Structures are given as structure tokens and as C-alpha cells.
């Protein structure tokens, strides 16, 4: 009976993931109502450091291209919603074009404006306007919008891992970037290697530190190279074998050859 109960729990968890509850709003063909504001520079990517509470940097560059947004708690979900993509369009304002745009959750906000509140970059907010009316729309302040969850497509990019500053032989922290489809990672596991460089075949779960940054606090010196196993919100698993070399360094990017499909 215990085994059967465990299987039921696993099935329920799988169903929840498949319906998108891990990151608050699942995929639907229906538009949902929300409020939108904007922050940062009028034609900027949001915060001054081009990052935010998810840990992503250079959000003015590809694949973000400044089309970013803070999400309130139903969207940000304490970091579980980082990287999720949404189509947005504005309504009830004469400056609105009505055309949809795609933005990614890269930051958080906790202002009680509405059930769903997207605090957009200046670029993303202005992109919803009719030609030549970008500034006029931005001057409107809080506006009504509609939004829906859509897959993320980072064409030409595989998943990237940025080893965070402060990582050392007994503490390893890594930022996961450019995940396709769901855009989110709900679990990250690490596999060490033996002294001869061969994998141990033992996966150690990491835990979310904040945003899209995961950490492992070890009771021993971690032995590289490291493999990383990722599970997406919809339950897909990909493995980047020995993607972090034995002589890894903190504050360094390590690109993989894997991507969610």
C-alpha cells in the first residue's frame, strides 16, 4: 500500500506540473485580465543593472532584448516563475495598438495593484502602443492589459550555466539561463565525478537559492567535472553531462549542448 500511495503522489505531482501550477499561470488559449505599469528607463530593460530578482543579466541583449517584466506573486512565485514567457496586449486606451507582444518574467514586484500585475520594462510597455505613440502610452501610468502564457523560444541558444560569485569547493551556486519551452526549471540535480574523472552516477538535489539561481551546500569538497540534470515545469528532463569542468571558476559562464524541446 505504501508503494501504491507513493505512486499516486507522484502521479498527482506530475499532473500539477503538466497543467502549469508550478509557476502560477498555465498555458491557455484564453486571454486573462491584468494591470500593467512600467519602470526603469523609457527605452530600457528594467532595472539599472539590466537584471533583476531572477538573477538574469544583460536583459537588454538577446534573447531578452529588453522585453522583460516583473511579475507579482502569482506570476513570480518566489522565483519559480522566472523565465516564463507571456503574450501581452493592452486594451481600453486610445494609444494601444491591440497587437500582442511577448515578454519574459525576469524580476518581481509586490504592489497590490491587481490579481495579476506585470510591471514592464519601458521598452515592453511602449511596444504595445500604436506607431509613434509609445511615450503617450507610457504617460498613461497604470493600464488594463490582457495576457496569456506562451512557450519560450530562444533560437540558436542552448541552456547556459553561470557559476555564481562566492562558489567554492564546498558551496556551488549556478544560474540557469535560456531554457526553451516552459522557460522555467523546477528541479536541478548535480552529479560529481570520481578522482579519475568518471561520473559517480549519484545525483544530489540542489535547492533554489533565489530566482533562477540554485545552490548546493556540501559536507565535503565537491569533485568535478559536474553534470547537471534539469526538470522543466512540464516534466521534461535534460542532462548536461560534465558541463562544468574540473577546473571551474566562479563568475564564469559554461554553455551546454542541451535544450528543452
Mode of pairing for the β-strands spanning 68-71 and 101-108: parallel
Tell me which of 3.40.640.10, 3.40.50.720, 2.40.40.10, 2.60.40.10 is the CATH number of domain 23-150.
2.40.40.10
What DSSP character marks residue 89?
E
Beta strand segments in 109-198, E: 117-121, 143-150, 160-163, 171-177, 185-193
Q: Where are the domains of the chain?
A: 23-150, 160-255
| pLDDT per position as a tens digit, 63-78 | 999 999 999 999 999 9
Phi then psi dihedrals of residue 34, to 5 deg? -155, 170
| pLDDT per position as a tens digit, 214-235 | 999 999 999 999 999 999 999 9
| Assigned C-alpha cell, 201 | 552516477
* CATH number for the domain formed by residue range(s) 160-255: 2.60.40.760
| Assigned C-alpha cell, 257 | 549542448
Tell me, what's the pLDDT at 102?
98
CA–CA separation, 191 and 228 (whole Å): 6
| pLDDT per position as a tens digit, 113-138 | 999 999 999 999 999 999 999 999 99
* 121 contacts 107 by C-beta, under 8 angstroms: no
Amino acid at each position: 500500500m505504501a508503494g501504491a500511495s507513493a505512486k499516486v503522489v507522484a502521479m498527482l505531482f506530475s499532473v500539477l506540473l503538466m497543467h502549469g501550477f508550478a509557476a502560477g499561470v498555465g498555458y491557455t488559449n484564453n486571454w486573462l485580465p491584468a494591470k500593467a505599469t512600467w519602470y526603469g528607463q523609457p527605452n530600457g530593460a528594467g532595472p539599472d543593472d539590466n537584471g533583476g530578482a531572477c538573477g538574469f543579466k544583460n536583459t537588454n541583449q538577446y534573447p531578452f532584448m529588453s522585453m522583460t517584466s516583473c511579475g507579482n506573486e502569482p506570476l513570480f512565485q518566489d522565483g519559480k516563475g522566472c523565465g516564463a514567457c507571456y503574450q501581452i496586449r493592452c486594451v481600453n486606451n486610445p494609444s494601444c495598438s491591440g497587437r500582442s507582444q511577448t515578454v519574459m518574467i525576469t524580476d518581481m514586484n509586490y504592489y497590490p495593484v491587481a490579481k495579476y500585475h506585470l510591471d514592464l520594462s519601458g521598452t515592453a510597455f511602449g511596444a504595445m502602443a500604436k506607431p509613434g505613440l509609445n511615450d503617450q502610452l507610457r504617460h498613461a501610468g497604470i493600464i488594463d492589459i490582457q495576457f496569456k502564457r506562451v512557450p519560450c523560444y530562444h533560437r540558436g541558444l542552448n541552456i547556459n550555466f553561470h557559476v555564481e560569485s562566492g562558489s567554492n569547493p564546498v558551496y556551488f551556486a549556478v544560474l540557469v539561463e535560456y531554457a526553451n519551452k516552459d522557460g522555467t526549471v523546477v528541479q536541478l540535480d548535480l552529479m560529481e565525478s570520481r578522482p579519475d574523472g568518471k561520473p559517480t552516477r549519484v545525483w544530489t538535489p540542489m535547492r533554489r537559492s533565489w530566482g533562477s539561481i540554485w545552490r548546493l551546500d556540501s559536507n565535503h569538497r565537491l569533485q568535478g567535472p559536474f553534470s547537471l540534470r534539469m526538470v522543466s515545469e512540464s516534466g521534461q528532463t535534460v542532462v548536461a553531462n560534465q558541463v562544468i569542468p574540473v577546473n571551474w571558476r566562479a563568475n564564469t559562464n559554461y554553455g551546454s549542448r542541451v535544450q528543452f524541446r
